[in-house]
Structure formats: C-alpha cells, structure tokens
Amino acid sequence: MSVKQKTGYAAIMLSVCIGLAATSGVAFGAKKKLVPLNDAEFEQAKGMYFQRCAGCHGVLRKGATGKNLEPLPNKAKKSKGTLKLGTKRLAKIIKLGTEGGMNNFDDIFSEEEIDLLARYIQMEPPIPPEMSLALMKERHKVYIEPKDYPTKPLHGRNWENFFVVIERDAGKIAIIDGDKHEIVDHIDTGYAVHVVKTTEHHSKEKPVNGIAGRFWYTQGRDGKMTKIDLWQEPGKMLVAETQMAYDARDVAVSGDGKYVIGGGYWPPHFVILDAITMEPLKVVSTRGVNVDGDYVNEARVAAIYTTPNEPTFWVAVKELGQMWQVNYTDLDNLAIKQVNSAKFLHDGFFDPTGRYFQIAANASNKMVIVDSQTGKLVAMIDTDKKPHPGPGANWIDPKCGPVGGTTHLGVGKVTVWGNDPVGHKDAAWKICYEVDTDGAGVFIRTHPTSDYIWADQTKHPEPIIQQSVKVIDKKTRKVIKTIRVTEEDGKAAVHMEFNKDGTEVWVSVWNRKDASNPTGEIVIYDAKTLKEIKRIKGLTTPTGKFNVYNRTNHVT
C-alpha cells in the first residue's frame, strides 16, 4: 500500500507543521549531512510518520512506548540519536521490526518508502500547531438533531448484540449484527479510530436518555470524535461529530450520559463535550511536571475511562506518569485529583467491583492500581516488559480468586495478578502466575461463562506467530490451543471479543498489507469447542470490536 494515497486525513495536522529545517536535508545541530528530501518527499514521509510511528514514539519523537527518535543523542532517554544509527540501520529496523514489540513494515511500505522514512527521522521533528476551543466549535457538525432521534430502533434488529468494529485505515466503523453475522452498516469516522465507547450501566447514575449502550462515540487518530446512534436506519447512524485535536486516542462517556470526554496526543489536552449535541465545552491542558520532577511539553492523554461508582473520569497522562481523577459535576469549577504512579501510562480496565482501576505503565514494566473511591494509588505490580492489557480481562482463578490479566508488548507472556483485596487479601495486587506465549501481544479477553482466556500475539514480526492466538485454560493455567487465524501474506490476527451470551469469540484478521481494500475479515469461533464457525468478509483493516451488551455491562 502506498502511503501517498493516505495523506488527506493527516493534512490538517501536518501541512501546517513547521518543517523548514527538514527540507534542507540537514538536522539542526548536526554536522552529518543526509541525502536531501524535496518538498514532496518530506510531506510524504511526514504523513507516514504520523500514520504509523507517532503513536508510540511521539509527535516530537521524545519516545514513550517506543524509543526516542531524536536526531541527536539524549542521555536522559538513553538514546544515541538517529543520526548515529544512520539510514541503513534505521531502514533495517523499520523493515523487519523487533521482537521487543515493534511490528515489521516491509508488508506495508515499499523499499523506497522505508528509505524515505529512515532519512526523515534523522531530521528535526516539525512542531504541530495548537488547537483552540473556538476552532473545535467551528469543526462541530450536527447531522441529525437530538429532537429528531427515533424513540425506538428503526431496523428491527437485536441491537444489544451488535458489534461495533473499527475499520482502521478506511476511516470507518462497521456495525455487525451478532445474531445474524451480517454487516449492517459502514460509517465514516475519523482516521484510525483507536477506541469506541458508550454510556454504561452504573450503580449511582442513569443516562439522561434512559438507554445505556444506544449511543457510541469514536475517537480517531486525526482527532475527530463522532457520535453514533444504533437505533437509526443504516446510512443515518452518524448523528454528530467534532474535531477536538490533531492527534488523539481515547474517549469516554459520563455515567449520567451528559458529557463525553476526548483525550489528545497533540495538542496534549483533554476536552469535555456535551454528549447530546457534541458541542465542545471545556479544554484542559495536560502539560506539566512528571513523576521525576521534569517538565514535559508533550504529556499525552493515553486512556480515559468513566468511573463506575463515582461521577468522575480517570485520565491517564502518559508521559507524566499520573492518573488524573476528573470530577465532572461542576465544569466551571473543575476538580482534578492528580495521582502519581509510573511512566508511561497507556491502557487499563476496572476490576469487577468498579472500584479499582488497573492500568499499564509500560515503560516502567508495572501494572498500576488506583482506588476510585479514595482517589489514591493502591499498588504498583512489577511485571515483565511493557505490559499492555488493552481493555483487559477479569476472571476467577481456583487459587487466587478474582484476578486480572495482561499481555505484553515487549515479550510473549500473559501476566495474572489478584485483584480482590476484600475476599482474597493475601493474593491482592500480587502476581498470581504467568503464562508464556510465542510473541508479544496487544489484547487479552475472556467472558464469565468461558473456561478460557484468549491472547493475541500481534506485535511479533514473524507471520506464523502474529497470525495466531493463544487459548489458555483458566483452571490449569496452561495454553491448551494455538489457533492460526489466517495464513495470508500481510495479515495479522488481533483483538478478541465475545458475543453477548459468551458462546462465540470473534477475532479480527487485520489486512495490514492491502489496507486500501476490503480484504479483512472477522473469524468467529465456538467459545466452548474452539472450532471455527464463520468468516465475515468485506471489511477494511478490522482491528478492535466491541459488543454492545458486554461493554455496556462491564463484561470482561
């Protein structure tokens, strides 16, 4: 796939970046000259970096989950500098990936594109612009007024067993009927949607519309947030949108359904919007001093979650190593409690009670536990390299009782810890056991009715591993089956999700190589026998998928 075809969505952010030094072919402060990039090549490489690299390495290339990619040495980051590595070495890393969690890109980029990117990252990074609340309001669009929303579903389908599926590179999400295994709609959203979330069932709050799970909110890499109404007819499900950043990752909806919050990678801020109209209401910068006492300009919001039992959002400020508990009951006098933990905070999930939030500090090799009731740090669990639970998994272990689990970006392993400080105090916040897999993974999932835990291995560069998922028995704690989901070149298996009653497991086949065509698919397995049931085709780069009932009711 040529990246030249995909620069449109990055243009808003990247065309206004300051890149004068880079076009000269010389890095600031460096004596070593590079093969110059002309203007067209520079814009192309800039788009490639934004699409595929900025998420892990940062817009300013300071590094986080990925390594520092500044041109000159950075002792604090233990970086020799990209100029020191040189074009040939950088191109090899981009091409083949590493077993430490970086994918290979030889099945996405051509040799020429890899060379272009290798030269680009030896140049000073361009600095993107800021974004004001006024600009966000200008980019707010309403397609269907709230007063015109239907009072009952218009399609006659079981919408509570719908799957909301990210079609990453197409800039769309697909709605799939979980009962009939049919694609209901493809909806235009922002590019590379990272997360889709909905109003959930909470013990203390009820959605203002009385219906949890009906409205879904997407957050794209281009900062566009969209509102989806699952009761509308196909073709009319997109009801509103707003761009709240140039680069963004996560979204969450308040327990009462009044507010939706989006987290920016650039600018580093979070934005609270009216969940009904999608009008932006408040912007809060997350720049600040990290847990080491250093000021961080690019302090990005990696994850945002609604607290099940409190009127708050948990905002993970990645580079600061801080969890911010944001009380949304009074936006004019916003109360934020900052909880120090460890770097770099990324993805997390709640324990079954909804009190404790469990999040990965992947650069510190820790799982961080914070208490939503007290707003304090509870524990930091040492793990293997770069834990990454995605939306996570909770289940009952025969010895440790209630537990949570994570995959790792840096090693083939599933780590399991106790998360019940009341009923199983001795096991709480301690590693219960570990299970070796063949390669680094991104997601782990299970269901209360299932005997198994599923883990992907998407981050390993070898196709046979990246295309397979592991199934682990909850009782024996052993891998009982390795399932090769696909054998097609340039495709990877990623992200598992159960259907409403836990009888099926859906796995995405992500067509990384042929990302401009609908050659991706979802493979459905019987959750008990582990046999393949069906393949749903006609999807473009499907990655994450979210079952309406399970996500609304915190079924992990």
What pLDDT score was predicted for residue 24?
37
Q: Per-residue pLDDT for 452 more than 80?
A: yes
Whether the pLDDT of residue 79 is over 90: the answer is no
Strand-pair partners of 304 = 315
315 — pLDDT class (breaks 50, 70, 90)? very high
- Cα–Cα distance for residue pair 425/421, rounded to 1 Å: 4
**49: pLDDT confidence band, cut at 50, 70 and 90?**
confident
**17 carries an active-site annotation:** no
Nearest Cα to 115, choosing from 96, 91, 94? 91
Among 34-48, 135-149, 196-210, 269-283, which stretch is predicted with the lowest mean pLDDT?
196-210
Q: How sure is the predictor about 206, in pLDDT bands with cuts at 50, 70 and 90? A: low
Mean pLDDT lowest among 134-143, 198-207, 463-472: 198-207
In this predicted structure, what is the pLDDT of residue 312? 97
Catalytic status, residue 432: no
Which of these, 498, 556, 548, 495, lies nearest to 520 by C-alpha position?
Answer: 495
Kind of pairing between the strands at 504-511 and 520-526:
antiparallel
pLDDT (mean) for 345-374: 96
Residues near 538 by beta carbon (within 8 Å), at least 6 away in sequence: 183, 518, 521
What pLDDT sits at residue 23? 37
From 304, 302, 231, 299, select the one nearest 273 (Cα to Cα).
304
Euclidean distance between CA atoms 198 and 203, whole angstroms: 16
Share of the chain above pLDDT 70, in %: 92
With cut-offs at 50, 70 and 90, classify the pLDDT of residue 105.
Answer: confident
User: 363-405 pLDDT, tens per residue?
Assistant: 999 999 999 999 999 999 999 999 999 999 999 999 999 999 9
* Catalytic hit among 48, 56, 136, 225: 56
Spot the catalytic one: 194, 202, 269, 346: 346
Query: What pLDDT, on a 0 to 100 scale, did the predictor assign at position 100?
Result: 66
Give pLDDT, residue 208: 62
pLDDT band at 339 (very low <50, low <70, confident <90, very high): very high
- Partners of 218 in the β-ladder: 196, 226
DSSP summary character for residue 230: T
* Pair of tokens at residue 386: 């770069």
* 68 within 8 A of 74, measured Cβ to Cβ: yes
Q: Is residue 216 scored above 50 in pLDDT?
A: yes
Split at pLDDT 50, 70, 90, the class of 435 is very high
Looking at residue 329, the DSSP 8-state letter turns out to be S
The residue with greater pLDDT, 39 or 273, is: 273
What does the domain layout of the chain look like in residue ranges?
A: 3-120
Would you say the C-alpha torsion 83, 85, 87, 91 has a positive or negative sign?
negative
What's the pLDDT at 474? 98
Cα dist from 234 to 155, 170, 187, 237, 291, whole Å: 8, 18, 9, 6, 48
The 3-class secondary structure across 256-275, one letter per residue, is CCCEEEEEEEECCEEEEEEC
Asked if pLDDT for residue 416 goes beyond 70, the answer is yes
Q: Is the pLDDT of residue 154 over 90?
A: yes
Q: Are 120 and 25 in contact (CB under 8 A)?
A: no
Say whether 201 is catalytic: no
Q: Which residues contact 38 (CB under 8 A, 6 or more apart)?
A: 23
At position 86, the amino acid (one-letter code) is: G
Q: What is the DSSP letter of 48?
A: H
- Position 210 scores a pLDDT of 60
CB-based contact 66:387 (threshold 8 Å): no
Which of 97-106, 305-314, 365-374, 389-398 is predicted with the least confidence, judged by mean pLDDT? 97-106
Q: Determine the 3-state secondary structure of 345 from DSSP.
A: strand
- Count Cβ atoms below 10 Å from residue 52 Cβ, excluding itself: 18
| Mean pLDDT across 17-28 | 38
Residues in the chain: 556
Q: What integer best gives the mean pLDDT of the chain? A: 90
Q: What is the pLDDT of residues 454-472, one digit of tens each?
A: 999 999 999 999 999 999 9
Beta strand spans in 458-514 (E): 468-473, 479-484, 491-498, 504-511
Backbone angles phi, psi at 28, to 5 degrees: -55, 135
Q: How does residue 25 score in pLDDT terms, banded at 50, 70 and 90?
A: very low
Choose the weakest-confidence range: 70-79, 205-214, 383-392: 205-214
| Residue of 13, 17, 48, 57 with catalytic role | 57
**According to the model, what pLDDT value does residue 317 have?**
98
Contact criterion met (CB below 8 Å) for 275 and 229: no
Q: For 87-106, what is the mean pLDDT?
A: 83
Q: Which residues contact 134 (CB under 8 A, 6 or more apart)?
A: none
For residue 88, what are its two tokens?
């040939």
User: What is the predicted pLDDT for the residue at 207?
Assistant: 64
Q: Residue 236 burial (CB < 10 Å; 0-12/13-18/19+)?
A: middle
Q: What is the CATH number of domain 3-120?
A: 1.10.760.10
Whether the per-residue pLDDT at 29 is higher than 60: the answer is no
Active-site residue identified among 13, 17, 102, 278: 102
Q: Quick one: pLDDT at residue 227?
A: 98
SS (H, E, C) 363-393: CCCEEEEEECCCCEEEEEEECCCCEEEEEEE
> 102 an active-site residue?
yes
Here the tokens at position 454 are 């599923």
Write out the H or E segment, with its range, that includes residue 539.
strand 532-539
Alpha-carbon span 44 to 25, nearest angstrom: 15
Distance CA 340, CA 290 (A): 8
Q: Which residues of 16-39 are buried (b: 16+ CB within 10 A; e: fewer)?
A: ebebebbbbbbbeebeeebeebee
Mean pLDDT along residues 255-276: 96
What value does the mean pLDDT take over residues 178-198? 94
480-518 tens-digit pLDDT: 999 999 999 999 999 999 999 999 999 999 998 888 899
Find the mean pLDDT for residues 242-248.
Answer: 94
Residue 142 is encoded by which pair of tokens?
A: 């309403």
Contact predicate 485/511, CB 8 Å: no
Q: pLDDT class for 36, splitting at 50, 70, 90?
A: confident
Q: Is the dihedral of CA 84, 90, 96, 101 positive or negative?
A: positive
In this prediction, residues 2-22 reach a mean pLDDT of: 38
CA–CA distance, 91 with 61 (Å, rounded to integer): 17
pLDDT higher than 70, residue 204: no
Does 279 score more than 70 pLDDT? yes
Burial of 240 (0-12, 13-18, 19+ CB in 10 A): buried
Query: Annotated catalytic residue: which of 1, 13, 17, 53?
Result: 53
Q: Residue 157: how many CA atoms within 13 Å on its side-chain side?
A: 24
Structure tokens at 62: 């300071």
Kindly name the residue from 388, 447, 460, 495 that is annotated as catalytic. 388
Sequence-ordered list of residues with C-beta below 8 angstroms from that of 440, at least 6 positions apart, any chain:
99, 100, 101, 386, 407, 408, 409, 410, 411, 412, 457, 458, 459, 460
